[in-house]
Chain A
């Protein structure tokens, strides 16, 4: 089953590469992604199979949560794609479509692989697959952003490779079989050589953290998200970064099983808070609303690692829940910001006003997405962000809780100033003359994302709760507390 999750999008990518018609090619995307989502749902419904010791591709409970989040995010984004690409008939979408499906395949591979070397190959492949789609607009600014993204992320991930090798050496040093298989490493964790393990965790965290966009390795993010089409931005901010977080979780799991959890968590709390603070500082007076979303992504990546860093059942559960909430909220924000950017021909808050009147749907969704992302009830992120706070208070880390709240407050004000200027005010065009008005094809998928964000805040379905509980239990396998 696991193989199909990787192979099916790969076939769709090959079809997109070969499809001759620029007009019909985008329709392959929702088809391929829909089939992938169907497979994901089947996998989730089936009971977890007993895993063999030496398998490379394994569907484990943690992977299931990420698969669901990725599947839904990618499918809704791909529903948006045909409508968006129809508005850009002048540009060939062959490379973009191929890359979209290829990156879905590689993201699934990241989540499924239980060999850390294979996982590294897949993470690097998602980087390479996103680079050409960043360059979709073919202008000097996007060229510059693509270069920055490609170089910084490749170098970061190279460090993660060194970290993986260090991990293997920590087994070799302890006279164990050298292996990068996840099961073996967790099973023999208590015997691993501690100095090498610690060095490995630091390298893996910095490496995959660069790809995730944690401060201070986040410098590629504002440029990349600013220049990328909204569609690509949503996939990067909700999908590719989640995959890197997944890789960090694997490293954390091994480190914790070796009894070095506290060492890892101290780093994660520090980096989480640093990312939130950096994002908050750069969001104040950020006049470009797409770059604003990039900093918002840095902030949310900080929340993800902070949750695991605080630890305990509550903290880890909050983090995993936030993976889903963050992906869905980023879908709303990036796609609606893309619509607004297209209609106004500018992404600067000083040129764009009154979006709610000229683009009633995208404008109001952008506003709702902003409220959701900043943690206002009744939306999903409120639940997960509040749980992070509760976890911090439960474990008696009052200083962490205070800093978390302070960063959230500054983000709310900073982001709010720009978002409100964009959404309200006197429209730049009278609403009859908007060049790209709201349509069903570019509106409905965002409504879908928003509906999930709202649902996650009011009611989390029972099967999802069970899935999350299993994942939290899985992350504590082999960890003696």
Chain B
């Protein structure tokens, strides 16, 4: 178990951020974002999402010991925030971040269910996440080289 904790800490706290910084380096872009619809709308939507998560979690039948704790609403709010980032951000790198936020929300929910996921399966999930971000990082790099800048608006030559 300790190994898994250390691995999670290492992958999520160190390896994945490093990979993303590495993917960003070539692109020479700052951390600025231009969400679709602007900052205010984005913030308000995020706030509304958090409120909805609280309301929704209240309507779900929870076990008595999970009632007062904020694990379920926090998880749902994080998932919604991840979705919001995926939908409103134009850049490949911010979309990757949205995906990571979404995954984090799911992991928070997983805290309630430690027994259901044996260490081996949990390690597999972590490995998948790592490889996913790794492959995404490689594609971002290739996109940097092929198209400039990291804007998926360039990625709209394929139409229905």
Interface residues of A (CB under 8 A from B): 115, 117-118, 120-121, 124-125, 128, 131-132, 135, 138, 140-141, 143-148, 150-151, 154-155, 158, 161-162, 165, 168-169, 171-173, 177-180, 193, 195-196, 199, 222-223, 226, 282
Closest CB of chain B to A480's CB: distance in Å? 24
Q: Does B142 contact A (CB under 8 A)?
A: yes
With A118-B124, A150-B132 in contact, do A173 and B63 touch (Cβ < 8 Å)?
yes
Q: Given the complex of chains A and B, what is the CA–CA distance between A179 and B121 in angstroms?
A: 12
Q: Does B36 contact A (CB under 8 A)?
A: no
Q: Does B146 contact A (CB under 8 A)?
A: yes
Q: A131-B139, A165-B113, A168-B117 are in contact. List 17 more A-B contacts (CB 8 A).
A: A117-B121, A118-B124, A121-B121, A121-B125, A124-B132, A125-B128, A128-B128, A132-B135, A141-B158, A147-B143, A147-B152, A147-B155, A148-B158, A165-B110, A223-B158, A226-B158, A282-B160
Give 7 A-B contacts (CB < 8 Å), ordered by A residue: A121-B124, A138-B142, A143-B147, A154-B99, A154-B132, A161-B106, A168-B113
Closest CB of chain B to A210's CB: distance in Å? 13
Q: Given the complex of chains A and B, what is the CA–CA distance between A222 and B121 in angstroms?
A: 33
Q: Are the C-beta atoms of A121 and B61 separated by less than 8 Å?
A: no
Instruction: Encode B100-134 as 1/0 by CB contact (under 8 A) with A.
Output: 00110010011011011110111011011001100
Q: Given the complex of chains A and B, what is the CA–CA distance between A181 and B78 in angstroms?
A: 27
Q: Are the C-beta atoms of A150 and B128 separated by less than 8 Å?
A: no
Q: Does B19 contact A (CB under 8 A)?
A: no
Contacts of B117 in A (CB 8 A): 117, 168, 180
Contacts of B106 in A (CB 8 A): 158, 161-162, 165
With A131-B135, A143-B142, A162-B106 in contact, do A120 and B158 touch (Cβ < 8 Å)?
no
Q: Are the C-beta atoms of B147 and A140 separated by less than 8 Å?
A: yes
With A178-B113, A179-B115 in contact, do A121 and B146 touch (Cβ < 8 Å)?
no
With A132-B135, A155-B86 in contact, do A140 and B113 touch (Cβ < 8 Å)?
no
Instruction: Encode B8-32 as 1/0 by CB contact (under 8 A) with A.
Output: 0000000000000000000000000
Partner pick for B102 among A121, A144, A158, CB 8 A cutoff: A158
Contacts of B160 in A (CB 8 A): 222, 282
Q: Given the complex of chains A and B, what is the CA–CA distance between A195 and B60 in angstroms?
A: 7
Closest CB of chain B to A143's CB: distance in Å? 6
With A117-B117, A120-B125, A147-B143 in contact, do A165 and B103 touch (Cβ < 8 Å)?
no
Interface residues of B (CB under 8 A from A): 60-63, 79, 86, 92, 95-96, 99, 102-103, 106, 109-110, 112-113, 115-118, 120-122, 124-125, 127-128, 131-132, 135-136, 139, 142-143, 146-147, 152, 155, 157-158, 160
Q: Nearest A residue to B152 by beta-carbon distance?
A: A147
Q: Nearest B residue to A282 by beta-carbon distance?
A: B160
Contacts of A172 in B (CB 8 A): 63, 112-113, 116
Contacts of A195 in B (CB 8 A): 60-61
Per CB-CB distance, the 6 closest pairs between chain A and chain B, nearest first, are A168-B116, A121-B124, A117-B121, A178-B116, A144-B155, A124-B128
Partner pick for A158 among B63, B99, B118, B147, CB 8 A cutoff: B99
Partner pick for B158 among A145, A162, A173, A180, CB 8 A cutoff: A145
With A145-B158, A282-B160 in contact, do A128 and B113 touch (Cβ < 8 Å)?
no
Q: Given the complex of chains A and B, what is the CA–CA distance between A397 and B158 in angstroms?
A: 38
Contacts of B62 in A (CB 8 A): 173
Q: Given the complex of chains A and B, what is the CA–CA distance between A269 and B160 in angstroms?
A: 25
Partner pick for A144 among B131, B132, B157, CB 8 A cutoff: B157
Closest CB of chain A to B141's CB: distance in Å? 10
Q: Nearest B residue to A193 by beta-carbon distance?
A: B61
Q: Nearest B residue to A115 by beta-carbon distance?
A: B121
Contacts of A168 in B (CB 8 A): 113, 116-117
Contacts of A222 in B (CB 8 A): 158, 160
Q: Nearest A residue to B105 by beta-carbon distance?
A: A162
Q: Are the C-beta atoms of B121 and A118 separated by less than 8 Å?
A: yes
Q: Given the complex of chains A and B, what is the CA–CA distance between A161 and B132 in angstroms?
A: 15
Q: Given the complex of chains A and B, what is the CA–CA distance between A150 and B132 in angstroms?
A: 8
Most chain A CB within a 10 A radius of its CB, from B143, B152, B157, B158: B158
Closest CB of chain A to B59's CB: distance in Å? 9
Q: Nearest B residue to A194 by beta-carbon distance?
A: B61
Q: Nearest B residue to A281 by beta-carbon distance?
A: B160
Q: Are the C-beta atoms of A135 and B102 separated by less than 8 Å?
A: no
